[in-house]
Amino acid sequence: MPVALAGCNDALSVVAPAGPAAQTIATLWWVMLAGSGLICVLVAGLLWAAFRPRGATDEARQERLWIHGLGLAFPLSILAALLAYGLWVGERLLPRAGADVVRVSAAGERWSWSFGYADADGRVTEGVLHIPAGRPVDVAVTTRDVIHSFWVPRLAGKLDAIPGHVNVLRLEADRPGVYAGLSAEYSGVGYAGHRFEVHAHDAAAWDAFLRGERP
């Protein structure tokens, strides 16, 4: 079933989340889409009504309505709410310390990825990142050459791999499975094929992986 998912249309879809981070962001998207839709309808309605005949009103009142009301108060209140929501979401997605956090590392290179594991010293995998399902994972992202970006759309947002810097991304998979990953920063002619996979394991398989067995 998870393997089948990787071949399906939603393999790279932001709106088919498979982890808490991606889920939170997907919800944010649907909320914003609904709000934007309403605003579009409002503007379209106002424009349509402008072409209807109507009586004259005085300019000072119109200025209050259009500029103070619709121009200032309306966006300010909506944006304040959205900003607060966005910050709350952002805070929830931060990599915070915790007892069950798994730490791994990802190094991008044209055009491959290699992954290291804090819990399995010296263990390096190429092209496949192994993680336990249901536990928060902190990925330390860096690069060996140009800028890349580490992105597993169904699990979390993306984070850049920048020379000389290490950025930490928090992700988590709800269930065991295979999740497609991409580099999302243009890196030259091999960019389109700059992919990797994330294999999320149940607890037993993860322990086996850490012991050095092939999962």
Least Cβ distance, residue 146 to another protein (angstroms): 4
Least Cβ distance, residue 156 to another protein (angstroms): 7
Of residues 4 through 43, those in contact with another protein by CB under 8 A are 7-15, 22, 24-25, 28-29, 32, 36, 39-40, 43
Phi and psi at residue 13, to the nearest 5°: -85, 130
Contact between 203 and another protein by CB under 8 A: the answer reads: no
Candidates 46, 37, 34, 41; CA nearest to 71 is 46
Distance, in Å, from the CA atom of 215 to the CA atom of 210, rounded to the nearest integer, reads 9
Of residues 120 through 139, those in contact with another protein by CB under 8 A are none
C-beta of 79 vs 203, nearer to another protein: 79
| Piece of the chain touching another protein by CB under 8 A; list 119-127, 130-138, 190-198, 207-215 | 190-198
Q: Report the residue from 1, 3, 4, 59 that binds another protein according to the rule CB under 8 A.
A: 59
Taking residue 29's Cβ as centre, other Cβ atoms within 10 Å add up to 13
User: Exposed, middle or buried by CB within 10 Å (0-12, 13-18, 19+), for 69?
Assistant: exposed
Candidates 195, 163, 165, 202; CA nearest to 181 is 195
Q: Map residues 132-171 to x or -, x wherever contact with another protein holds by CB under 8 A.
A: -------------xxx-x---x--xxxxx-xxxx-xx---
